[in-house]
Structure 1
Amino acid sequence: MKRKKIPMRMCIGCREMKPKNELIRIVKTPDNNVEIDPTGKKSGRGAYVCKNDKCIEASMKENQLSKALDINVTKEIVSKIKEELSNL
């Protein structure tokens, strides 16, 4: 039997390649809202982050989230993302 290929994505916080299902996708929707995409199928520009606070903080510190989503990500958006992650 053939083994199924596991899609790999890079976390923008720690810059490590991990399987796609271990990461959270943050997406900028076409109407310029930033939100978490638990299904990984929403339309828009996306970035992948590990499920811990360290990677989110690192991506914010180095401005990687803003660059990846091509939008200015404020601290309010980051706090909203952290809150949604804790609810997952």
Structure 2
Amino acid sequence: MMRRRPRTCVGCREESPKREMLRIARNAAGEVSVDPSGRLPGRGAYVCLKEECILSARKRDALSKALRVKVDAGVYDTLLGMAAEAEGGEEKGQ
């Protein structure tokens, strides 16, 4: 059985298990979308669900480089919203 390698975050460049990260996918038509299931076809890039990782990726335009297509700023805004939601949920759970 093949051992799965961890994915690398485009923001912090650290490796983490796939399920701890969020996938952004580019389909054959060049459209970019957030892929919470991690199963959409096409080229994918991964980012930690942390605000600092997303801001770092936005600063370097890392998603555009990883997906080889220009990524709209709205994708980063969506990711920041999801990160804020996730971090808010963690604080309530503690």
Q: TM-score normalised by the shorter chain: which range applies?
A: 0.7 to 0.9
Which of 32, 35, 49 is the aligned partner of 1:34? Answer: 32
Cα displacement (A) at 1:25: 0.4
Q: Is the 8 A contact 1:25 1:46 kept in 2?
A: yes
- Distance in 1 between residues matched to 2:33 and 2:73, nearest whole Å: 14
Q: Is the 8 A contact 2:34 2:75 kept in 1?
A: no
Q: Which segments of 5 or more consecutive residues in structure 1 lack a partner in the other structure?
A: none
Q: If the length of structure 2 is used for normalisation, what is the TM-score?
A: 0.75
Q: If the length of structure 1 is used for normalisation, what is the TM-score?
A: 0.80
In 2 relative to 1, CA 15–38 (structure 1 residues): closer, same or farther, beyond 3 Å? same
Q: Which segments of 5 or more consecutive residues in structure 2 lack a partner in the other structure?
A: 87-94
Cα deviation, 1:11-40, whole Å, max 9, x if unaligned, reads 010010111110000011222221111111
In 2 relative to 1, CA 38–76 (structure 1 residues): closer, same or farther, beyond 3 Å? closer
Question: Matched residue pairs, number?
Answer: 85
Q: What is the identity percentage for the equivalent residue pairs of Structure 1 and Structure 2?
A: 37
Match of 1:16 in 2: 14
In 2 relative to 1, CA 8–57 (structure 1 residues): closer, same or farther, beyond 3 Å? same
In 2 relative to 1, CA 29–61 (structure 1 residues): closer, same or farther, beyond 3 Å? same
| Between structures 1 and 2, the one with greater helix share | 2
